[in-house]
A and B are shown apart, each in its own frame.
Chain A
Amino acid sequence: MKLITAVVKPHRLDEIKEALQAFGVHGLTVTEASGYGRQRGHTEVYRGAEYTVDLVPKVRVEVLAEDDDAEQLIEVIVKAARTGKIGDGKVWSLPVETAVRVRTGERGPDAL
């Protein structure tokens, strides 16, 4: 199994959810996050005092996938998240040792 993590622009979340549902993904976890990459932050002005805000709001989407689906899922997320402008975010995957469905105790791919 793989854990696919995507840190993306918050306003792309709906497209990502729809694309994942269309692909047949049954569950995902979303967290509000903040951070920066090449985009860096932005500048705000309060009574003439300029502040550089380093951390930009993002959402982190996490999906568990079977090994065979992982590459394709990453493509689905990247396609849905892309605007072509700087700050679109990153997607990565990690190997997962095990997963358990809490209600039934099922393990491995059955738990997804």
Chain B
Amino acid sequence: MAPAIMLAADAPRLSSANTGFMLICSALVMLMTPALAFFYGGMVRVKSTLNMLMMSFISLGIVTILWVLYGFSLAFGNGNSLIGYNADWIGLSDIGLTELWDGYTIPVFVFMVFQLMFAILTPALISGALADRVKFSAWALFVALWATVVYIPVAHWVWASDGWAFKLGVIDFAGGTAVHINAGAAALGVILVIGKRVGFKRDPMRPHSLPLVMLGAGLLWFGWFGFNAGSWLGNDDGVGALMFVNTQVATAAAMLAWLGYEKIRHGACTTLGAASGAVAGLVAITPSGGAVSPLGAIAVGAIAGVACAAAVGLKFRFGYDDSLDVVGVHMVGGILGSLLVGFFATGKGQSTATGVFYGDHSFDQLWKQCAGVFAVLAYSLIASAVLAFLLDKTLGMRVPEDEEISGIDRAEHAETAYDFSGAGGGVAGTAAAAPAAAQTRKVDA
């Protein structure tokens, strides 16, 4: 998201094409949150499916409201290098409908809603590490607090024109640091505070529906074109199209790499491996896709696929319960993608900065990338752990152990995902339909 430096004479004018494109991209990014819900939802056991879906969906509600009230103003207003502020944007109260986002051809409103979808997705990404065990009320509050204290400042650092990382020249096309490292490090911080699921490493915790996981991964892949290509905020110089191509190429390479790795290590190409590899590739190309060539994208994807496939096993070795591998895929993939820019940037994409393998083989960009990665990683890890600690000491982060064992869906949402009692509701269901029981609507299924 480089600010276009233009003379007054050719000041940008509103482009209908770019505006329409960006509205579609915003809708695509919105779809990623329900897609993520299914990707995660299929991976948990039957008894916590609904909770997993709801942890993502609730972000669509909470973050939208706070983004309108103050989030956009603090993230993208002109402030200092750490946080922004714009009084006119509080409550979106004073934004002209045709007022342009500074230096671009799309209205502020369009930029605002596009960024909103990122702010919704990022807290939802964390939820995969917290499966089966977090109180829904505590999670809802965590989402609001985390978006405010962690996401908004980090988005300002990386993407606002006065953010420190942006000014330093850290390349993060669509959110390798602000979205993926941020969410992955936050997940690690929170699970170090709240601990493991009951039965971690002892009980089999198999995905209950791999078809849901594949559906979610497919929709994520689709939505990611909006996430990545849309992050250039227009198509006038072809960089958005380069990003679109690289998104497809890196994801394909990462899926194949993960499948190859597990075929050699474990003897089978699994559906979960295909879905996970695709997501690892999407994560890794997110920061880098505007700076690398398509052949570079193959390298980025392949490296991410193998590295993430190897990284997801670490939780068993070190004993932290990253339930659905948010750390192993998003944090590791985000770090890789962000650092690989420092090697594979050609200087012919989004900027003239080149990586170690191109131009004058300078390590300059790599150091900048390291600074961005380390700062986001450290800040998110610590701030998220502190937030989780405070919530745990006040509200309590975890459901009681017996509710976790019997299933968080019933305890926290008063529902179950699937009716296993057969056609017609089974014996118990028939009794519940009888007039005498109609008052209580009792279902024992």
List residues of chain A with CB under 8 Å of any chain B CB. 44-53
Contact = CB atoms under 8 A, between A and B. Distances in A.
A52 B203 CA distance: 10
Interface residues of B, number: 17
30 contacts: A44-B206, A45-B262, A45-B266, A45-B267, A45-B268, A45-B270, A46-B206, A46-B207, A46-B270, A46-B272, A47-B272, A47-B273, A47-B276, A47-B309, A47-B312, A47-B313, A47-B325, A48-B262, A48-B265, A48-B266, A48-B309, A48-B312, A48-B313, A49-B313, A49-B316, A50-B266, A51-B204, A51-B206, A52-B204, A53-B204
Nearest to B270: A45
Nearest to B328: A47
A49 B206 CA distance: 10
A10 B265 CA distance: 31
Contacts of B267: 45
A75 B102 CA distance: 85
Interface of B: 204, 206-207, 262, 265-268, 270, 272-273, 276, 309, 312-313, 316, 325
Query: What 6 pairs across the A-B complex have the smallest Cβ distances?
Result: A51-B204, A45-B266, A48-B313, A47-B312, A46-B272, A47-B272
B195 to A, nearest CB: 19
Contacts of A45: 262, 266-268, 270
Contacts of A50: 266
Given A45-B262, A46-B270, A47-B273, 7 more contacts: A44-B206, A45-B266, A45-B267, A46-B206, A46-B272, A47-B276, A48-B266
A49 B266 CA distance: 9
Contacts of B204: 51-53
Contacts of B265: 48
Find the residue from A48, A50, A51, A52 having the highest chain B CB count within 10 A. A48
B420 to A, nearest CB: 11
B364 to A, nearest CB: 37
Contacts of A52: 204
A45 B273 CA distance: 10
A57 to B, nearest CB: 14
Nearest to A46: B272
Contacts of A53: 204
Nearest to A45: B266
A63 to B, nearest CB: 23
Nearest to A54: B204
A96 to B, nearest CB: 24
A104 to B, nearest CB: 24
